[in-house]
């Protein structure tokens, strides 16, 4: 249980404070205002306090702390138990009793007079993780990070460990502390009393394995000591392997000498066996040569039979498929035809309805046009008559006004005349005596003239009246005549338009007839070319296939290059036997796998030969002729044989299984080049297969040329891919460039003819479509012209009716006999009145002349005055007469205008009725037109939709018809080819059976030959087998030379009988040599691997050590220079080439001194050097906790201040707990832990120096207080 520190007795002069963490914490908000922001805090571990119970000098439960997060100092007099604080930490951290300065664990239990027989002791260390906050005392505790590690010791020298009250083990405690960063391996967190100088006095290297020098000390910290044991083990293994290899090498040399001693006798025996086998081989060759002709024919017959059988099966399958497809196409064509006919019938019905509506629309438009023209004409006539009516009204009004004005003028003039005559009478009266005679004569003459004047006026009045009446009668008679003339003019104009329309109709009918004929002709021509198109297509396809196949074969032959061509010539001439061909030419594969196999198997360009001698001859030939280099595949040397198809992921094929070899003996060559390479569709599938979950790794290639090796390496892909290394057909050797050119010319000729045919058909189709497109427009135009002509005819009929009506009106309105007699009488009266008026005017003129002469005489007598007055009177009289005449004319004109006004008013009323009727008809017509237009638009939309549907159906029907025709032709061709193939197959089958029977006989004779097998004592060696040679090799044999060589071998074998058992002995020795060589190779490989591992470990140790060493050395120099204010310190390698051989020297140059060995320094200088190294190691590998016991004992006050200030200011990322008696050190601490002993029992008190300093002004120590 914890004891309240307030209950403990305190030493005099020291204020006691509650030992709680909050008592010394400054609020974070205050720190934030006092300290500038810095980097984000780092989480680290600190000790908050320690609770000791009956541990060494601490009796009961004593709490030490709380400790400051950075710098805490433990102070107290000597012997008070300060070092026991460190011992308590060592006790909890698992150190044994001797490390804690006791012989047994039971000795750690407190023992004093007051507590003599305690049973146990314990120590609790309270940890927590914090985040530093700005300010010297501020921090934030990480939630749920508090840890309490404790250990209890008992009288029986046993102990127990606890973590947060849970019993645990020392190993688990150490693991927990190590995980939090406390270095329990090297104990860098702990420097005990007197140990600080020993750090710098370490030897460069430990003298023994268990001795520790500066090298071992740094290696433990850097971490390279972990490599020492593995390097030692690998080194021992390397030495053992080297020794074993030496012994095995000697045994190999002995076995090689024993084997070589048998070589001569072995060669003699082998030569004998070889001669025997050569004899059998040549006999086999002779027999095979005898079989060559029949075998060649058999092979050809078999190939022909198989090809025909495969072909006829293929043709039958194709024919069956084609028949099914043909039936399907026929059914589809019938369905398409029915659909097309149904849509066409609907479209034609809609077309007829649409044309009917178009004709009705034209009729309505023409009627509308006629009514518009009529309305405009009537409106114009109304406007004209209205204007004339207004003019007549104006005329009547003006005549009335003029009459009134004239009468007034006559009255005025008559009054003036009376006055003037009075003046004239006065003048005349004054001259009466002189002019009386003349006046009497004049008066007499005037009396005589007066009746004549009255007669003339009466006669003139009668003449004017008769003339006006005659004019009016004549105008009435001529009105209908004008209407008739106008109607006749309009009829003539319509006749002219009808003539034009008739001519246009004739031309439109001619154009329609022509286009319909052309359409019929083009349709028949297109229909006639349907079959020809299929024929052209088939001919072109066959010609192109032949040309492309020949071209590909020729290109394959040419692509072999000069090397292959040269070697094939040597084979054809028989100079080199055993050459087969290029590997890629000895098999075929489907075109879809061209890129895949060209990528996965570049060795397809290798040349296949039968045996090693053939390959050697080929290489020699290439070398002599400087043709270049080539890779050869020796069939006899191939060890891997094709394996059954394995179970592949996702069922993808194996590339080898897709190849069809030209001969089964070439299959091993392809298998050796490909092995179990698989083919994937794409890269996704390839990745799934290559890197799948199965145990086996696959080599996979995609169809596009991307390759994944079993190692995981990827290649291929890109813009250019490999292709063309293997064809889908076997290359024919008889293809020539002239033949390829001839096939190309033939194909091009067919293509040209087909192109011309297609151009003609396309032109015909285009023209036919153009006519079909334009034909409805022509028909519509023709209908429109007919309707316009009908409208003109109707309009002409209307005019003729109007003309007849006008004639009838003229007949009705023709003057009757009374009017005509009246007009004749009026004309006679006018003539009579005109004659009488002329006679009267003649009589009056005579009287007027006599009167004028008398008047002139009077005027002569009366002088100027009389003449002037006389002139006035005459003038007034003439004016009166003129006005009177004008009044008569005005009266006549007014009467005539009134009569015309009445007639025009009636005519306007009639025309207005006609206008209203025409407008009503036009309104109704517009309504009809709109209705027709809407109906026509709907019909047009349906017609257009049906038209598009009809075009689609027509296209589908044409396409189906084309497919049907093509498939029908294809099926007929298949049936014909099948019948021909069947006949050919029957013939080939008979020939094939005969060749098989003959070949079996020859094969039986050949099977009786076998090579001699000599028992060599090695049961694993297979017996030699006779080789079956290819036909090209056998055909080049010289039979006569073979017979000679056979006889020579028989004679040579008869004269030689070597010991054949020596071969078995040689084999045994050779096998023994191989086994020992294999053992030597194995141990050599193991030694090399061990040496490689040894070198890698040594290099890893050296690199890692030198990296850490340089960092520590640099930081050491920096620390020492800072601590000593100008000194220098270095870590030096004794052997710069091998730092682990001689160790490390710690050299120091104190300020203002020369370089010195560490042993030659003073105690303070050693302490400073050791502290500089400790701080440098802290920089390299920080630990969150440092506990130091009187590290400043040997330092003067100046150096103590430097070290203390460094700890105070620089080391912020760790917690320092330092035991010190030097005030220069503990006065800088953030927390003081006071240790004191009373009654042989140690106690502690924690003081915050800063808080204590602030309270000294208010708290005074009790002078009576004394520590117990």
Which residue would you say has higher pLDDT here, 592 or 1025? 592
The predicted-structure confidence for 181-236, as pLDDT tens digits, reads as follows 887 766 667 777 666 667 767 788 888 777 778 888 888 888 888 888 888 888 88
The predicted-structure confidence for 1062-1116, as pLDDT tens digits, reads as follows 788 888 888 888 898 898 899 899 889 988 988 898 889 888 889 988 998 898 8
Kindly report the average pLDDT of the chain as a whole number. 78
Rounded CA gap, 77 and 1198, in Å? 22
**Residue 974, Cα to own-chain centre: how many angstroms?**
46
What is the DSSP code (8-state) at residue 1027? Answer: P
Band of pLDDT at residue 782, cut at 50, 70 and 90: confident
Band of pLDDT at residue 1235, cut at 50, 70 and 90: very high
- pLDDT of 22 over the 50 cut: no
Rounded CA gap, 954 and 714, in Å? 54
Average pLDDT of span 177-181: 84
Closest to 278 in 3D by CA, of 997, 1088, 1011, 948: 1011
The answer to whether 859 and 867 are in contact (CB under 8 A) is yes
- pLDDT of 1120 over the 80 cut: yes
pLDDT at 480: 60
Domain spans of the chain, in order of start: 40-186+1221-1262, 590-617+635-727
pLDDT at 1156: 81
Counts for the chain of helices (H) and strands (E), in that order: 23, 25
pLDDT at 702: 92
The predicted-structure confidence for 246-280, as pLDDT tens digits, reads as follows 888 888 888 888 888 888 878 877 777 888 788 78
Average pLDDT of span 961-980: 68
Task: Give the burial string for 981-1003 (b: 16+ CB within 10 Å, else e).
Answer: beeebeebeebbeebeeebeebe
pLDDT at 33: 34
Please state, in angstroms and as integers, the Cα–Cα distance from residue 1111 to each residue in 149, 558, 1131, following that order. Answer: 34, 69, 11
Strands 714-716 and 706-708: antiparallel
Per DSSP (E only), the strands in 438-528 are none
Cis peptide bond upstream of 66, omega within 30: yes
pLDDT at 127: 93
Which residue would you say has higher pLDDT here, 1066 or 985? 1066
Among positive and negative, which fits the CA dihedral 375, 379, 380, 382?
Answer: positive
**Six token digits for residue 937:** 């638009």
The predicted-structure confidence for 822-852, as pLDDT tens digits, reads as follows 778 878 888 888 888 788 778 778 877 877 7
The answer to whether 666 and 642 are in contact (CB under 8 A) is no
Burial classification of residue 424, based on how many CB atoms lie within 10 Å of its CB (0-12 exposed, 13-18 middle, 19 or more buried): buried
Band of pLDDT at residue 160, cut at 50, 70 and 90: very high
- % of the chain exceeding 70 in pLDDT: 84
Please state, in angstroms and as integers, the Cα–Cα distance from residue 879 to each residue in 406, 841, 844, following that order. Answer: 11, 18, 19
What is the DSSP code (8-state) at residue 41? Answer: P
Band of pLDDT at residue 770, cut at 50, 70 and 90: confident
Note the pTM of the prediction, 2 decimals. 0.39
Q: What are phi and psi of 97, to 5 degrees?
A: -65, -35
Q: What are phi and psi of 1142, to 5 degrees?
A: -115, -15
Band of pLDDT at residue 973, cut at 50, 70 and 90: low
The answer to whether 1030 and 982 are in contact (CB under 8 A) is no
- % of the chain exceeding 90 in pLDDT: 5
pLDDT at 479: 58
The predicted-structure confidence for 1147-1179, as pLDDT tens digits, reads as follows 888 888 888 877 777 777 888 888 888 888 888
Average pLDDT of span 627-639: 83
Per DSSP (E only), the strands in 867-1013 are none
Band of pLDDT at residue 554, cut at 50, 70 and 90: low
The answer to whether 1231 and 137 are in contact (CB under 8 A) is no
**Six token digits for residue 434:** 């002189």
- pLDDT of 1002 over the 60 cut: yes
Four-CA torsion 591, 592, 596, 601, nearest 10 degrees: -20
Q: Which CATH architecture is the domain 40-186+1221-1262 placed in?
A: 3-Layer(aba) Sandwich (3.40)
**Six token digits for residue 990:** 């008979």
The answer to whether 657 and 681 are in contact (CB under 8 A) is no
The class of domain 590-617+635-727 in CATH terms is alpha beta
- pLDDT of 969 over the 60 cut: yes
- pLDDT of 814 over the 60 cut: no
Rounded CA gap, 1156 and 127, in Å? 43
Q: What are phi and psi of 604, to 5 degrees?
A: -65, -20
* Side-chain half-sphere exposure of 117, counting CA atoms within 13 A: 0
Looking at the DSSP bridge assignments, the partners of residue 190 are: 1187
pLDDT at 93: 85
Rounded CA gap, 211 and 216, in Å? 9
Q: Coil, strand, or helix at residue 99?
A: helix
DSSP per position, 429-445: HHTHHHHHHHHHHHHHH
Four-CA torsion 850, 854, 855, 856, nearest 10 degrees: 100
Burial classification of residue 1237, based on how many CB atoms lie within 10 Å of its CB (0-12 exposed, 13-18 middle, 19 or more buried): middle
Which of 701-705, 1017-1021, 1044-1048 has the highest mean predicted lDDT (pLDDT)?
Answer: 701-705
Domains 40-186+1221-1262 and 590-617+635-727 share a fold: no
**Six token digits for residue 1256:** 């000294």
Task: Give the burial string for 41-57 (b: 16+ CB within 10 Å, else e).
Answer: eeebbbbbbbbbbbbbb
- pLDDT of 122 over the 90 cut: yes
Rounded CA gap, 269 and 984, in Å? 57
Closest to 701 in 3D by CA, of 722, 729, 720: 722
The answer to whether 726 and 594 are in contact (CB under 8 A) is yes
**Residue 216, Cα to own-chain centre: how many angstroms?**
62
**Six token digits for residue 8:** 């403990």
pLDDT at 63: 92
Average pLDDT of span 746-751: 82
The answer to whether 764 and 455 are in contact (CB under 8 A) is no
Please state, in angstroms and as integers, the Cα–Cα distance from residue 101 to each residue in 88, 95, 96, 105, 174, following that order. Answer: 11, 11, 9, 10, 21
pLDDT at 861: 64
Rounded CA gap, 156 and 161, in Å? 15
Between 139-153, 461-475, 565-579, the lowest mean confidence (pLDDT) is in 461-475
Rounded CA gap, 835 and 828, in Å? 10
Q: Coil, strand, or helix at residue 587?
A: strand
User: Tokens 């890779």 appear where?
Assistant: 631
Q: Coil, strand, or helix at residue 582?
A: strand
Radius of gyration of the CA atoms of the chain, in A:
72
pLDDT at 13: 33
DSSP per position, 968-1004: HHHHHHHHHHHHHHHHHHHHHHHHHHHHHHHHHHHHH
The answer to whether 170 and 158 are in contact (CB under 8 A) is no
pLDDT at 47: 92
Closest to 54 in 3D by CA, of 124, 116, 109, 117: 109
- pLDDT of 19 over the 70 cut: no
- pLDDT of 1045 over the 80 cut: yes
Closest to 16 in 3D by CA, of 1135, 929, 1264, 1255: 1255
Closest to 177 in 3D by CA, of 240, 117, 129: 129
pLDDT at 49: 92
Closest to 85 in 3D by CA, of 112, 123, 38: 123
Which residue would you say has higher pLDDT here, 686 or 519? 686
The predicted-structure confidence for 644-693, as pLDDT tens digits, reads as follows 888 888 888 999 899 999 888 898 999 888 888 999 988 888 888 888 76
The answer to whether 604 and 583 are in contact (CB under 8 A) is yes
Give the other-Cβ count within 10 Å of 808's Cβ. 11
Strands 1185-1189 and 120-132: unpaired
Average pLDDT of span 719-741: 65
Average pLDDT of span 881-895: 78
Rounded CA gap, 126 and 124, in Å? 6
Which residue would you say has higher pLDDT here, 559 or 1115? 1115
């Amino acid at each position: 249980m914890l004891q309240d520190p307030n209950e403990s007795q305190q030493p005099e002069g020291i204020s006691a404070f509650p030992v709680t963490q909050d008592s010394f914490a400054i609020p974070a908000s205050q720190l934030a205002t006092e300290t500038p922001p810095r980097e984000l805090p780092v989480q680290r571990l600190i000790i908050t306090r320690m609770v000791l119970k009956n541990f060494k000098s601490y009796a009961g439960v004593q709490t030490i702390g709380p400790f400051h997060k950075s710098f805490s100092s433990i102070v107290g007099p000597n012997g008070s138990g300060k070092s026991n604080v460190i011992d308590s930490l060592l006790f909890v951290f698992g150190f044994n009793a001797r490390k804690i300065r006791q012989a047994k664990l039971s000795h750690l239990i407190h023992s004093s007079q007051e507590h003599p027989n305690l049973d146990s002791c314990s120590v609790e260390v309270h940890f927590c993780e914090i985040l530093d906050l700005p300010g010297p005392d501020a921090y934030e505790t990480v939630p749920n990070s508090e840890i309490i590690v404790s250990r209890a010791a008992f009288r029986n020298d046993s102990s127990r460990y606890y973590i947060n009250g849970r019993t645990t083990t020392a190993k688990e405690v150490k693991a927990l502390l190590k995980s939090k960063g406390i270095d329990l391996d090297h104990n860098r967190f702990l420097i005990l009393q007197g140990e600080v100088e020993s750090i710098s006095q370490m030897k460069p290297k430990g003298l023994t394995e268990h001795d520790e020098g500066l090298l071992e000390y740094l290696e433990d910290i850097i971490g390279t000591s972990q490599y020492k044991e593995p390097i030692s083990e690998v080194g021992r293994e390397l030495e053992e392997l080297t020794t074993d290899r030496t012994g095995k090498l000697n045994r190999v040399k002995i076995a090689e000498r024993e084997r070589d001693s048998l070589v001569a006798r072995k060669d003699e025996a082998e030569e004998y066996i070889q001669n025997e086998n050569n004899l059998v081989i040549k006999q086999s060759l002779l027999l095979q040569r005898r079989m060559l002709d029949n075998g060649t024919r058999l092979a050809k017959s078999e190939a022909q039979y198989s090809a025909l059988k495969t072909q006829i099966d293929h043709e039958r399958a194709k024919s069956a498929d084609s028949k099914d497809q043909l039936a399907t196409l026929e059914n589809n064509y019938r369905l398409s035809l029915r659909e097309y006919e149904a849509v066409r019938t609907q479209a034609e019905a809609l077309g007829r309805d649409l044309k009917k509506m178009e004709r009705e629309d034209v009729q309505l438009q023409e009627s509308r046009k006629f009514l518009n023209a009529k309305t405009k004409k009537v409106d114009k006539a109304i406007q004209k008559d209205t204007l004339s009516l207004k003019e007549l009204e104006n005329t009547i009004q003006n005549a009335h006004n003029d009459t009134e004005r004239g009468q007034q003028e006559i009255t005025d003039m008559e009054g003036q005349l009376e006055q003037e005559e009075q003046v004239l009478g006065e003048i005349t009266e004054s001259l009466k005596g002189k002019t009386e005679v003349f006046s009497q004569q004049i008066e007499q003459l005037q009396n005589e003239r007066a009746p004549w004047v009255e007669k003339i006026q009466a006669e003139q009045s009668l003449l004017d009246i008769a003339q006006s009446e005659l004019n009016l009668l004549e105008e009435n008679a001529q009105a209908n005549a004008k209407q008739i003339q106008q109607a006749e003019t309009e009829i003539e104009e319509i006749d002219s338009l009808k003539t034009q329309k008739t001519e246009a109709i004739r031309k439109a009918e001619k154009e329609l007839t022509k286009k319909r004929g052309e359409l019929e002709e083009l349709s028949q021509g297109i229909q006639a070319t349907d079959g020809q198109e299929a024929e052209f297509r088939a001919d072109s396809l066959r010609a192109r296939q032949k040309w492309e196949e020949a071209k590909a074969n020729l290109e394959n032959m040419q692509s072999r290059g000069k090397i292959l061509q040269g070697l094939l010539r040597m084979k054809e001439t028989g100079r080199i036997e055993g050459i087969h061909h290029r590997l890629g030419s000895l098999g075929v594969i489907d075109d879809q796998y061209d890129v895949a196999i060209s990528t996965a198997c570049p060795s397809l360009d290798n040349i296949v030969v039968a045996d090693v001698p053939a390959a050697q001859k080929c290489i020699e030939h290439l070398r002599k002729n400087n043709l270049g280099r080539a890779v050869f595949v020796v069939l006899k040397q191939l060890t891997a044989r094709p394996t059954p198809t394995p179970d592949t992921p996702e069922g993808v094929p194996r590339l080898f299984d897709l190849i069809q070899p030209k001969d089964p003996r070439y299959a091993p060559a392809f298998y050796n080049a490909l092995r179990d390479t698989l083919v994937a569709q794409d890269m996704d599938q390839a990745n799934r297969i290559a890197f799948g979950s199965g145990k086996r790794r696959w080599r996979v290639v995609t169809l596009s040329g991307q390759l994944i090796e079993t190692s995981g390496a990827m290649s291929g892909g890109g813009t250019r891919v490999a292709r063309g290394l293997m064809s889908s057909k076997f290359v024919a050797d008889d293809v020539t460039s002239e033949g390829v050119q001839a096939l190309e010319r033939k194909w091009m000729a067919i293509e040209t003819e087909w192109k011309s045919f297609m151009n003609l058909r396309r032109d015909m189709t285009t023209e036919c479509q153009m006519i079909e497109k334009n034909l409805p427009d022509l028909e519509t135009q023709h209908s429109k012209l007919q309707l316009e002509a009908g409208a003109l005819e109707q309009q002409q009929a209307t005019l003729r009716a109007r003309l007849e009506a006008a004639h009838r009106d003229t007949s009705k309105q023709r003057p009757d006999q009374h009017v005509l007699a009246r007009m004749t009488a009026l004309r006679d009266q006018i003539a009579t009145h005109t004659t009488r008026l002329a006679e009267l005017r003649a009589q009056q003129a005579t009287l007027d002349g006599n009167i004028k002469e008398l008047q002139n005489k009077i005027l002569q007598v009366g002088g100027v005055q009389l003449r002037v007055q006389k002139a006035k009177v005459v003038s007034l009289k003439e004016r009166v007469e003129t006005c009177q005449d004008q009044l008569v004319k005005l009266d006549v004109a007014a009467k005539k205008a009134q009569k015309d006004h009445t007639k025009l008013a009636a005519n306007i009323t009639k025309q207005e009725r006609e206008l209203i009727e025409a407008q009503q008809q036009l309104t109704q017509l517009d309504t009809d037109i709109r209705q027709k237009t809407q109906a026509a638009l709907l019909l047009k939309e349906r017609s257009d939709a049906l038209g598009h549907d009809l075009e689609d159906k027509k296209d589908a029907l044409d396409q189906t018809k084309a497919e049907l025709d093509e498939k029908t032709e294809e099926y007929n061709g298949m049936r014909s080819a099948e019948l021909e193939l069947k006949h050919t197959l029957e013939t080939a089958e008979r020939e094939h059976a005969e060749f098989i029977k003959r070949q079996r006989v020859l094969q039986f004779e050949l099977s009786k030959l076998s090579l001699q097998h000599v028992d060599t004592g090695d049961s694993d060696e297979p017996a030699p087998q006779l080789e079956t040679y290819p036909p090209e090799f056998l055909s080049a044999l010289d039979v006569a030379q073979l017979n000679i060589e056979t006889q020579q071998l028989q004679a040579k074998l008869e004269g030689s009988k070597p010991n054949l058992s020596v071969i078995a002995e040689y084999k045994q020795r050779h096998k023994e040599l191989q086994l020992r060589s294999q053992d030597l190779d194995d141990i050599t490989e193991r030694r090399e691997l061990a040496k490689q591992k040894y070198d890698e470990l040594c290099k890893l140790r050296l690199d890692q050590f030198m990296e850490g060493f340089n960092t520590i050395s640099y930081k050491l120099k920096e620390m020492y220079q800072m601590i000593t204010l100008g000194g220098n310190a270095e870590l030096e390698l004794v052997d710069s080439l091998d730092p682990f051989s001689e160790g490390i020297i710690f050299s120091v140059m104190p300020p203002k001194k020369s370089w010195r060995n560490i042993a030659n320094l003073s105690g303070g200088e050693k302490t400073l050097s050791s502290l500089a190294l400790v701080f440098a190691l802290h920089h390299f590998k920080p630990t969150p906790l440092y506990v130091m016991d009187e590290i400043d004992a040997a330092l003067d006050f100046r150096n103590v201040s430097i070290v203390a200030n460094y700890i105070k200011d620089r080391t912020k990322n760790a917690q320092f707990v330092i035991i010190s008696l030097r005030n220069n050190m503990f006065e800088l601490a953030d927390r003081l832990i006071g240790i004191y002993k009373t009654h042989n029992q140690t106690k502690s008190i924690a003081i915050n120096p800063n808080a204590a300093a602030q309270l000294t002004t208010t708290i005074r120590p009790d002078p009576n207080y004394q520590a117990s």
